[in-house]
Amino acid sequence: MGYMRQSHLFTKTRKEAPSDEVSQNAQLLIRAGFVHKEMAGVYSYLPLGMRVLQKIENIVRDEMNAIGGQEIRMATLHPSEPWKQTRAWDNVDVLFKIMSRTEKEYTVGQSEEEIATPIAQEYTTSYKDLPLAIYQIGQKYRDELRAKSGIMRGREFTMKDMYSFHETQEDFDRFYAIAKEAYLRVYTRCGLIAKATEASGGSFTTKLSYEFMVLTNAGEDDILYCTSCAFCVNTEISDQKEGEVCTRCTAGILERATASEVGNIFDLGTKYPHDFGFTFKNTSGEEVQPIMGCFGIGITRLMGVIVEACSDEKGIVWPRAVTPFHVHLVRIGESEAVVQAADTLYEELVRQGREVLYDDRDVRAGEKFADSDLLGMPTRVVVSEKTIAGGVYEVVTRATGEKTMVTQEMLLSAL
């Protein structure tokens, strides 16, 4: 929901992105005024960027709530103790460590098993308390060595991280399967096609994992996928080769592609419950450790991948589900008749609850069109002397550049 006059919009477009910015996603987002670069791998999100983030977050929320996830907000400033208890303090290379003035050590969350597990433990005494799945959407901090992929690899970034706890392996497997489907729905709803790689866990703590991959040259992963079925593997862990026949369906051939990991789900087994002494009474009355899973989605990376996948030489082409506004109403001309016609249409669109950005600025037509292409709203509606004379509006589809002249009635029904 929402609408805005562009003359009131806090940000402006700019001709150039910072010279040290090499990634396409950040260049476009900076030029369009969606994000502001603080340093390599760290970005602030401005009003248009916030609107996109909120839409992505709401899609993720919706799907996590639908499978029984309950949203919480965990602390991001952490004491060092739980991190020492799991030995991550010395083993996780991306962990930032902070020394306070009283020489107490802290860290900031790079993932939050160390916080989520003790929280779940506090409220779980019997099998009746399980299964449970808690999640948050929040900031993560990682001391990444290379941060050249714009918002796709941040030193600070937004992640949805969910942690689930189960009485039995069977119950974990059940939840894992529905979580995988929910993940695929998230990406589809965001306008992307993601493939789930089959992989054993990447680290010693994990038994089974899926990585969700979107094909894009801006990605940092190398995958093999079947041309016929859904089979997909990360080349890093597979001994299969490009061009081989798919072992799953035996119909397709394995093709190699560059991809970006936009999420992953892990079976963590009992590693964290073990480290924290987390047990509960199972159905047979025995004290046992729960099976734990973790489920991550890179929210800001997803936004970056959308920009990489959905853009052209003129700018961004937002998928409808995550666009900051659905309609970009562009007024060309300053005459009383044009201003009145455009204002009236704006008010009507607002009254109907459309998400509309209204370019009511007094600038040249060429600049307005270039800005509109850069900002990337899916539908542009132009009001000018010419359209008024014909009693119509010009509607331009951003993705194809296709232009049509429509009456107000047609316009409102088409939207």
Residues near ligand ATP (CB under 6 A) are 111, 142, 144, 153-154, 157, 159, 261-264, 296, 298, 300-301
Q: How far is CA 9 from the centre of its chain?
A: 24
How far is 400 from 397, CA to CA, in rounded Å?
6
- Give min distance, CB of 225 to ligand ATP, in A: 17
DSSP code string of 188-253:
HHTT--EEEEEE--SSTT-SEEEEEEEE-TT-SEEEEEESSSS-EEETTT----TTPBPTTTSSSB
Q: How far is CA 311 from the centre of its chain?
A: 16
* Cβ atoms of 31 and 374 closer than 8 Å: yes
* Cβ atoms of 389 and 405 closer than 8 Å: no
Q: Which residue's CB is nearer to ligand ATP, number 21 or number 359?
A: 21
- Give min distance, CB of 148 to ligand ATP, in A: 11
* Cβ atoms of 363 and 7 closer than 8 Å: no
Q: Which residue's CB is nearer to ligand ATP, number 96 or number 369?
A: 96
- Give min distance, CB of 205 to ligand ATP, in A: 11
Q: Which residue's CB is nearer to ligand ATP, number 63 or number 373?
A: 63
- Give min distance, CB of 21 to ligand ATP, in A: 15
Q: Minimal CB distance to ligand ATP: which residue?
A: 298
Q: Which residue's CB is nearer to ligand ATP, number 150 or number 290?
A: 150
Count the neighbouring beta carbons within 10 Å of the beta carbon of residue 335. Answer: 11
Which candidate, 6, 29, 26, places its Cα nearest to that of 331? 6
- Give min distance, CB of 299 to ligand ATP, in A: 8
Q: Which residue's CB is nearer to ligand ATP, number 60 or number 383?
A: 60
Q: Which residue's CB is nearer to ligand ATP, number 52 or number 262?
A: 262
Q: Which residue's CB is nearer to ligand ATP, number 156 or number 167?
A: 156
Q: Which residue's CB is nearer to ligand ATP, number 221 or number 343?
A: 221
- Give min distance, CB of 298 to ligand ATP, in A: 2
* Cβ atoms of 11 and 45 closer than 8 Å: no
Tokens 């309609």 correspond to: 327
Q: Which residue's CB is nearer to ligand ATP, number 187 or number 346?
A: 187
- Give min distance, CB of 45 to ligand ATP, in A: 13
* Cβ atoms of 303 and 56 closer than 8 Å: yes
- Residue 230 tokens, joined: 């859904």
- Give min distance, CB of 385 to ligand ATP, in A: 47
- Give min distance, CB of 268 to ligand ATP, in A: 11
Q: Which residue's CB is nearer to ligand ATP, number 88 or number 395?
A: 88
How far is 158 from 151, CA to CA, in rounded Å?
10
* Cβ atoms of 380 and 396 closer than 8 Å: yes
Distances from the Cα of 240 to the Cα of 71, 211, 254, angstroms: 39, 17, 9
Name, in order, each residue with C-beta under 8 angstroms of 157's C-beta and a sequence gap of 6 or more.
Answer: 139, 140, 142, 151, 298, 299, 300, 301
Which phi-psi region, left, alpha or beta, contains residue 251 (left: φ > 0; alpha: ψ -120 to 50)?
Answer: alpha
- Give min distance, CB of 153 to ligand ATP, in A: 4
Q: Which residue's CB is nearer to ligand ATP, number 164 or number 264?
A: 264
For residue 35, the surrounding DSSP H or E stretch is strand 35-39
- Give min distance, CB of 40 to ligand ATP, in A: 11
DSSP code string of 99-141:
E-TTS-EEEE-SS-HHHHHHHHHHT--BGGG-SEEEEEEEEEE
